[in-house]
Structures are given as C-alpha cells and as structure tokens.
C-alpha cells in the first residue's frame, strides 16, 4: 500500500514555490520520487532551493513563471511540460473590512487567486491531454472557500470561486483521466505567519475556532497534497480536502 503514495517517474509543477507552503510541498513531492519544477515570479526565490534539493539527491529544477502574465505562463508551461501533477499554489490576500476594499485590492487578489490559477490549470491540462496522459491537478484553496471570514470578503470570494471551478474542471477533465481537487488549509504556522500569532489575542481567537485546538503545520498540508498527487487517491476528483482542524465543521 505504501507504494501507492510514491510518485516515482512523475513530473510535478508547483507554483508559488519560493517559500512557505509551496516550498514545503515541492520538497515533499521530490522526496516522494517526483521530478519537481519549482515555479515563482522571482528566480532568486527558487533557484537556490532547487539546487539544495538536487544536492540532497532529488530531482528538481527552477522555472521563472509570472502567472499573472497568462500568455507567457501558458507558453512556459507548454515548453516545460507535460506535468503529471500540478500544485496550483500561487495566491495572495489583502485583508480589509468590506467597507474599505478598493478596486485595486479586489483586482490584485482576484487576478492572482482566480484568473491566474484558472489558466495555469488549463495550460497543464492541455499538456496532459495532448500527451494522452492522466494527471492530478491540486488547487490550493482555503477553509475560507467554504465559510466567511472577517476582513476577508475578497479572499473568500476568490476561494469560493476556486472551489466552483475545481468541481467543473473535474467533470470536463474526467474523460481524460485527469483528476482535479482542492486542499483547504486553516491558518498554517510558517515563518511568515508566526509574527501574527505572537499577538496573544489573535492567537487565542484563532485557536478558539479550531476544534482540534492547534494551528496547522506545513506537514499537515504536505500530507494532503501527497495523497491527492498519488495513486492512493485514484478515485478522488471534484473534492475538497479540508485541512482545517474542524473549523468548517462547526
């Protein structure tokens, strides 16, 4: 059974792979046997990490990819692919009270979280279909794709949109053997988020909404991604895997 979680012989593309969840996922995919391409807008963010993985005996390369430039990104993915696995991780947030959201905030978050994610997935899917290969597309969503959150109207809108297009993509791509799912984390403790959790009030109010009583860790998200990328989830498509400690169960 453990072999079903291996990714030997598979190629994987991870967007937003320069740090945090994206980097942790890329490293785990490589450790599971995949040939991983780390993609990010800034080459400096990924070239060193790809080199570090290669030095550890894994297969990894860097790809400068500005997902906001849809045409250039599509061409780059077509040239570098096909990819058996996509972890569609690039995303952003600009927390603000609904009354204070600006058009610039709305456009910036929506362009990255919805438009870019949509067309990156399309580019990977087109490569798989052209090659006659099955595959797994994993869209990095959020628990906020299933509930609302204060100061997160735009972010919630984008993640609800991702949940919707994931289901529809799964139906369109099922005849080609391409599975499409989301991973939906709660608040994950990373070097970037730790300063927020240093505020005891924020930490306490956040933990109060997580029935399991702890913040998410990178390993929690990584496990979900490896499962969805592997043959162990061969009959799973159009689903949302909520790694939220029970936040959305309440």
Strands 11-15 and 35-40: parallel
In this structure, is residue 249 part of a structural domain?
Answer: no
Q: Is 37 helix (H, G, I), strand (E, B) or coil?
A: strand
Catalytic residues: 155
Q: How many Cβ atoms from other residues are within 10 Å of residue 157's Cβ?
A: 18
In this structure, is residue 33 part of a structural domain?
Answer: yes
Task: Give me the pLDDT at residue 128, please.
Answer: 98
Nearest to 139 by CA among 168, 118, 115, 154: 118
**pLDDT digits over 127-175, tens only?**
999 999 999 999 999 999 999 999 999 999 999 999 999 999 999 999 9
Task: Give me the pLDDT at residue 193, please.
Answer: 84
Task: Give me the pLDDT at residue 163, please.
Answer: 98
Task: Give me the pLDDT at residue 192, please.
Answer: 77
In this structure, is residue 118 part of a structural domain?
Answer: yes
In this structure, is residue 130 part of a structural domain?
Answer: yes
In this structure, is residue 211 part of a structural domain?
Answer: no
Q: Find all residues with CB under 8 Å of 35, minimum gap 6, and list them.
A: 10, 11, 12, 59, 60
Task: Give me the pLDDT at residue 250, please.
Answer: 84
What does the alpha-carbon distance between residue 102 and residue 96 come to, in Å, rounded to a whole number? 9
Walk along the chain (250 residues) and give the pLDDT tens digit of each residue: 679 999 999 999 999 999 999 999 999 999 999 999 999 999 988 999 999 999 999 999 999 999 999 999 999 999 999 999 999 999 999 999 999 999 999 999 999 999 999 999 999 999 999 999 999 999 999 999 999 999 999 999 999 999 999 999 999 999 999 999 999 999 999 877 888 889 999 999 999 999 999 999 999 999 999 999 999 999 999 999 999 999 999 8
Which uninterrupted H or E stretch holds 158? helix 153-173
Nearest to 83 by CA among 23, 126, 128: 128
In this structure, is residue 66 part of a structural domain?
Answer: yes
In this structure, is residue 71 part of a structural domain?
Answer: yes
Nearest to 111 by CA among 94, 136, 95: 94
Task: Give me the pLDDT at residue 55, please.
Answer: 97
Task: Give me the pLDDT at residue 155, please.
Answer: 97
Question: Burial of 235 by CB count in 10 Å (0-12 exposed, 13-18 middle, 19+ buried)?
Answer: exposed
Nearest to 177 by CA among 136, 131, 119, 130: 136
Task: Give me the pLDDT at residue 165, please.
Answer: 98
Domain hosting residue 20, numbered range: 2-189+217-242
Task: Give me the pLDDT at residue 44, please.
Answer: 87
In this structure, is residue 201 part of a structural domain?
Answer: no
Q: How many domains does the chain have?
A: 1
Task: Give me the pLDDT at residue 45, please.
Answer: 84
**What CATH number does residue 10 fall under?**
3.40.50.720
Task: Give me the pLDDT at residue 24, please.
Answer: 97
């Amino acid at each position: 059974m453990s072999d079903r979680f291996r990714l030997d012989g598979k190629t994987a593309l991870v967007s937003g792979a320069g740090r945090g969840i994206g980097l942790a996922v890329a490293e785990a995919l490589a450790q599971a046997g995949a040939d991983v391409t780390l993609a990010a807008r800034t080459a400096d963010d990924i070239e060193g990490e790809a080199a570090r993985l290669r030095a550890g005996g894994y297969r990894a390369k860097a790809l400068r990819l500005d997902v906001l430039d849809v045409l250039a990104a599509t061409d780059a993915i077509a040239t570098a692919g096909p990819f058996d696995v996509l972890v569609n991780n690039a995303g952003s947030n600009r927390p603000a009270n609904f009354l204070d959201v600006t058009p610039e905030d709305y456009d910036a978050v929506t362009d990255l979280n919805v438009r870019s994610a949509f067309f990156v997935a399309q580019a990977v899917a087109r490569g798989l279909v052209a090659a006659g290969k099955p595959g797994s597309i994993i869209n990095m969503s959020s628990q906020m794709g299933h509930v609302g959150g204060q100061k997160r109207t735009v972010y919630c809108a984008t993640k609800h949109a991702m949940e919707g297009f994931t289901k529809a993509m799964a139906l369109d791509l099922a005849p080609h053997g391409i599975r499409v799912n989301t991973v939906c984390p709660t608040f994950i403790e990373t070097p970037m988020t730790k300063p927020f959790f240093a505020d005891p009030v924020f930490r306490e109010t956040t933990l109060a909404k997580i029935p399991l009583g702890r913040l998410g860790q990178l390993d929690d998200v990584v496990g979900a991604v490896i499962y969805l990328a592997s043959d162990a989830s061969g009959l799973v498509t159009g689903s949302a895997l909520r790694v939220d400690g029970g936040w959305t169960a309440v």
